[in-house]
Each structure stands twice: as structure tokens, then as C-alpha cells.
Amino acid sequence: MGKHFIAYAFPQQWFKIGGSGPKTNQLSAILDFTYFFKSGWNIGTEPNILVNWQARNDQRVTLPVGLQVGKMCKMRAHTDLVSAAVGILPAPSSNLRSEVEHSAADNPDDTRAD
């Protein structure tokens, strides 16, 4: 945190450690950077980067691009942030779940715990 900005990362790694069902090995990382102007306006980005370690190399990583704009508004006794965001999510992210399911379907005899 700085005087006029906030930045953070929140990574999560998901993997199967036992039981039946498809294998999974995925990373989700939310990165945030928001700059606050003295007027109460702010601008930033908060992409959710997705990585499917089991997918083909050309479909493994999804790097979304987006922009958020907001304004701090005083509403009665408290201050609220009103914001809007727009983003583009490339196609590989739609394949994250299906790639894991397909890899499990390709190996139906693979029921060992990871």
C-alpha cells in the first residue's frame, strides 16, 4: 500500500490429493493494482491469471486484460466505492475445466491418488 495506490496478489494452487474423479493441477492468481486520485476517482486493473498445468502448451495460460474505473462517493454516513470494469478473457480459459476432464477421460484406468 502506498499513499495513492494499493497493490496485492492472491495466488491459489489447486490439485487433487486423493479420491476418485479427474486429476486437476491449476493455478489461479488475482493481481490487483489500483491508483487513487485526490479527487476520489481511481483507475486500475485486477486480472485473474489462470494456468492449467495439464493443458497443452498453447492452451496452458490465460492472461486477461482489463481496466477498472471507480469513484469514492459519500453516501449519508459512510463512504462507498462505485466502480465499473471491463475485460477481455482469451479463449484458453474456457478450456481449463474441459482440458482436465479430457485428460482424465483419456486415462480411465488412472485412479491412483496424486
Predicted local distance difference test score (pLDDT) of residue 99? 45
Task: Name the residue with higher pLDDT: 31 or 75.
Answer: 31
Q: What are the tens digits of pLDDT across the range 98-108?
A: 444 444 445 44
Domain boundaries, the chain: 5-106
HEC assignment per residue over the chain: CCCCEEEEEEEEEEECCCCCCCCCEEEEEEEEEEEECCCCEEEEECCEEEEECCCCHHHCEECCEEEEEEEEEEECCEEEEEEEEEEECCHHHHHHHHHHHHHHHHCCCCCCCC
Q: What are the tens digits of pLDDT across the range 3-50?
A: 899 999 999 999 888 888 888 899 999 999 999 999 999 999 999 899
Looking at the predicted structure, is the pLDDT value of residue 59 above 50? yes
